[in-house]
Amino acid sequence: MTHRSVFDGGIIRAEFDKAGIKPHFIHSIWKYVIENPNCEWEKIPSLPSAAYPLLRSKFKSLTSTLHSAVESSDDVTTKLVIKLQNGGFVEAVIMRYDSSLGKYGGKPRPGGPRSTLCISSQVGCKMGCKFCATGTMGFKSNLSSGEIVEQLVHASRLSNIRNVVFMGMGEPLNNYSAVVEAVRIMTGLPFQLSPKRITVSTVGIVHSINKLHNDLPGLNLAVSLHAPVQDVRCQIMPAARAFPLEKLMDALREYQKNSQQKIFIEYIMLDGVNDEEKHAHQLGKLLETFQVVVNLIPFNPIGSSSQFKTSNEDKVTTFQKILRGTYNIRTTVRKQMGQDISGACGQLVVNLPGKRSAQNSSLVTDIEDLC
Ligand code: SF4
């Protein structure tokens, strides 16, 4: 029998309940696993005696293994390749921000050093966005909540993670229940991340956005909009056909009304496709009644097979000026990090270190790493 991850919260709670073991012991088990990479169940102190055989027969402390951790030459980005129990691979990226390094315009940031972890929710993705390397892999499988949380466990052993963004491989809202459970685990003991420090990014799965605020209040929502009108959206994001822009904006309006939180809008700049001044005005009009932050993302070329080109700097600046100046919309331009390790935006597709071919080394890797 395949053992489940001890971080599959619903399953371990149900098993403990069946065996009459109090659920609060689960938090001590998780804490022990995080602090003891070579955890053996017998060594966990002070559990009820029925817990030990149950853990041995049904659970593994971690079902995944850290296959590699590759540092970028930018000194702040580390890409983790994680091997799953079923033989599949997913990637996660740690981004360290340290104001003392002066790497962000030299201005000190409040709060000192902190790390953000960009995690995956699926192996591959069925959304098929044309500019995204993960989309080129197709969909392989959903991750369990335990497999999602295990990415945080692996990363926590390397860095003090303060923020989590679901912007790695996969569409999080297409694996809704596992993502909801994983976020609940991350915000509870022993991780205790603030929901305000967790961001879920979606292409706009309307029916899931409608539920999200009730299930996970306080969470940040990021929407990969990438175009201000439906036909351009469909051209670059095939999934947009199932979720028309009008319905998506209605869902976002409702979400904002209920949550009273700003929404992050991700917009990849593709030369000649969505980066003209008219697109900036269309986007401004679409968003002017919302509380949003727009993040313009310079496109990472996918290599020779890519049909898209990066917008030049002047176009990005003009686009930003229109959104800010004419529509008073807070607009930032994403800084590129970790390109040399395929950990930058649009670059999360599993490239195993030492196994890259000349062909796939130039492939992108994930647009959803918009962290
Ligand atoms: S951009 Fe996101 S949703 Fe689109 S294919 Fe890539 S991983 Fe999937």
- pLDDT mean values, one per 10 residues, the chain (371 residues): 92 98 97 94 96 98 96 86 95 80 54 85 93 85 98 96 94 97 98 95 96 96 96 95 96 97 95 97 98 92 72 96 98 74 52 38 30 32
Pocket mutation for ligand 1, best pick of 123, 139, 368, 369 (most atoms within 8 Å of C-beta): 368
Are 64 and 83 in contact by the 8 Å Cβ rule? The answer is yes
Q: What does the pLDDT read at residue 35? A: 94
- Cα(264) to centroid of ligand 1, in Å? 16
Q: What's the pLDDT score for residue 72?
A: 84
Most informative mutation of 90, 122, 127 for ligand 1 (most atoms within 8 A of CB): 127
- Distance between CA 118 and CA 79 in Å, rounded? 9
Q: What φ, ψ does residue 352 adopt, rounded to 5°?
A: -75, 130
* Catalytic residue list contains 345: yes
Q: What are phi and psi for residue 139, nearest 5 degrees?
A: -95, 135
Bridge partners, 330 (sequence order)? 293
Give pLDDT, residue 361. Answer: 28
Which DSSP letter does residue 326 get?
I
Residue 366 CA to ligand 1 centre (angstroms): 7
292-298 and 263-269 beta bridge pairing: parallel
| Residue among 15, 91, 181, 266 flagged as catalytic | 91
Question: How far is the C-alpha of 273 from the C-alpha of 265, rounded, in Å?
Answer: 18
| The pLDDT of residue 304 | 45
Distance from residue 169's CA to the centre of ligand 1 (Å): 7
| Amino acid present at 241 | R
With b meaning 16 or more CB within 10 Å and e meaning fewer, what string describes 176-191? bebbbbbbbbbbeeeb
| Amino acid at position 36, single letter | N
Nearest CA residue ID for atom 5, ligand 1: 135
* pLDDT value for 344: 46
For residue 348, the ligand 1 atom closest to its alpha carbon is 7
* Atom 2 of ligand 1: nearest residue by CA position: 368
Task: List, chain by chain if needed, residues with CB within 6 Å of any ligand 1 atom.
Answer: 125, 127-129, 132, 134-135, 169-171, 203, 224, 366-368
Burial 298-337 (b: 16+ CB within 10 A, else e): bbbebeeebebebbeeebbebbbebbeeebebebebbeeb
Residue 146 in tokens: 């335990």
Output the pLDDT for position 360: 29
Angle of CA points 264, 216, 252, to nearest 5°: 40
Ligand 1 centroid to residue 297 C-alpha, Å: 14
The three-point CA angle 274-269-330 to 5° equals 100
pLDDT number for residue 100: 56
Which ligand 1 atom is at minimum distance from the Cα of 169?
7
The verdict on whether 91 is a catalytic residue reads: yes
- The whole-model pTM stands at 0.89
Cα of 138 to ligand 1 centre, how many Å? 10
